[in-house]
Amino acid sequence: MKKFLKAVVATLMAASLVGCSPAKKESTSTSDDSAKPKRIALVTNKVGTNAFLTQMIEGLKDSATKYGFEASNVECSDTSEFSENIRAYAEEGYDLIIGGGWESSDPMSQICDEFPNTDFALIDTEVDSDRIKCISYNEQEGAYLIGALAALTVDGESHLYGGVHVNEGPGSWKYRYGFMEGVLSQDPTATFVFNYVGSYNDPAKAKTLAEQEFAQGAKFINAATAGGDAGIFEAAKDKMFYTSGQDTDKTDPSNPWVVSSQIKDTYTTIMKIIDNYYNGWNTTNEEKDNIGTPQSRGIPTWFILPKEIAKDIRFSSGGFRFIQAGPAEILDKGFVQVTMNIKDYTKNPIYRIMETVKMEAKRWGVKVTGCEIIGATPFAALADSLKYYLACDGIKDDVDAMSMEKVVELMIKYLGLTDFDVKKVLEANI
């Protein structure tokens, strides 16, 4: 193992304003009301030692000093607390409510339309809502550089690379695949092992998982567990494997095994959000494309495809009015998917959405391999779409005269449905 490091690199990911911008409101305040200071709230999960969150709080405080508004922040332990606190701030008449992380996205999306006089913003996530200003990062770019550095650091000592991340889902996707692509750019024979802490503040578990990966042969283990990274750094020093930090510069002369940091400057992010708020949200309504050419951005084409298709079919991007859509990864089954909520199947039938997804996938050279329906499905939604598919095949069968079982059988065939049977038809359970 090397006695010294060739380079220490800190990568900075630029934040960008994405999504739709709320229109600047006409003032209806009296002169007395207009003289009152603004009130801005930040809602996060438990802060602990999580630098991602502590930077936000410091940015909120310094912005309050700059603009003279009343600042408040609250920590939440679960989804219900996010909902309760966001709603409470809105009911109290706060002017701007900022969600610090993806955990606040669903609660804020569900609540924001009830409070048209309140502005909303999200950090580190994107939602399909024209009421919420969203801030996202190009994590995959920094992760790509970390991956390339990892391969150069171990220099053939091992071709197994590890990663200990928060979770398998959206919070870790770009970190994981950016890192993998960066490693592969320097070590095409590389293989990977990833484990997930399931928390932002669990150094003990993160340390245990890192030690397990080292025992498997990993000489570089990518750390992306926020407050849990301290445990990985401790393991790296004890076991002598290389690792990297996250959010702030975690390199330390006393621990040379931490070779780099991927910085996410949430302090500057929240300062810019508030600057934009005080300047009338002076950004465009168009979603910025931060992906670019996949190979140049450090993330594989197959991975970004669901996000691109979801964007194409969402109403906010010029798609269908009654569709909510986003990307998802089913890691244990080895595929990615577009997830959708069809809010009104009479206006956006299943067949129309499915065929649009197939069409969009085709232009990327990707074939849709199947479809699944979650939850109870109205029989009419299946029957109406079956009429379309039968007509396309020149079949004149009378769908209205078919049994429920026959309709389900044929829709399984046409949609490539998995894990679906007549028991999942709504009327079959009434």
Asked if residue 1 has pLDDT above 70, the reply is no
Average pLDDT value for residue range 88-109: 92
Asked if residue 338 has pLDDT above 90, the reply is no
Q: Which residues pair with 40 in a beta bridge?
A: 71, 96
DSSP state, 147? Answer: H
Q: What percent of the residues of the chain are helix, what percent strand, and what percent coil, each to the nearest 5?
A: 45, 20, 35
Task: Say whether 139-263 and 15-136+267-278 share the same fold.
Answer: yes
Task: Give domain 139-263's CATH number out of 3.40.50.2300, 3.30.360.10, 3.30.420.40, 3.90.1150.10.
Answer: 3.40.50.2300
Q: pLDDT tens, 199-234?
A: 888 999 999 999 999 999 999 999 999 889 999 999
Q: pLDDT tens, 181-208?
A: 899 999 999 999 999 998 888 999 999 9
Asked if residue 238 has pLDDT above 50, the reply is yes
Q: What pLDDT sits at residue 171?
A: 64
Which CATH number is associated with domain 15-136+267-278?
3.40.50.2300
Q: What pLDDT sits at residue 25?
A: 37
Banded model confidence at residue 302, pLDDT cuts 50, 70, 90: low
| Domain formed by 294-429, architecture | 2-Layer Sandwich (3.30)
Higher pLDDT, 10 or 134: 134
Q: pLDDT tens, 358-384?
A: 888 877 777 787 888 887 889 999 999
Number of C-beta neighbours around residue 56 at 10 A: 26
Residue ranges covered by each domain of the chain:
15-136+267-278, 139-263, 294-429
Contact 195, 331 (CB under 8 A): no
Asked if residue 17 has pLDDT above 50, the reply is no
Q: What pLDDT sits at residue 213?
A: 97
Asked if residue 4 has pLDDT above 70, the reply is no
In a 10 Å sphere around its CB, with 0-12 CB exposed, 13-18 middle and 19+ buried, how is residue 128 labelled?
Answer: buried
| Positive or negative torsion for Cα 416, 419, 420, 424 | negative
Q: What pLDDT sits at residue 26?
A: 37
Mean pLDDT is lowest, of 149-153, 255-259, 350-354, for 350-354
Q: What pLDDT sits at residue 294?
A: 34
Q: What pLDDT sits at residue 304?
A: 63
Among 118-127, 236-245, 342-351, top mean pLDDT goes to: 236-245
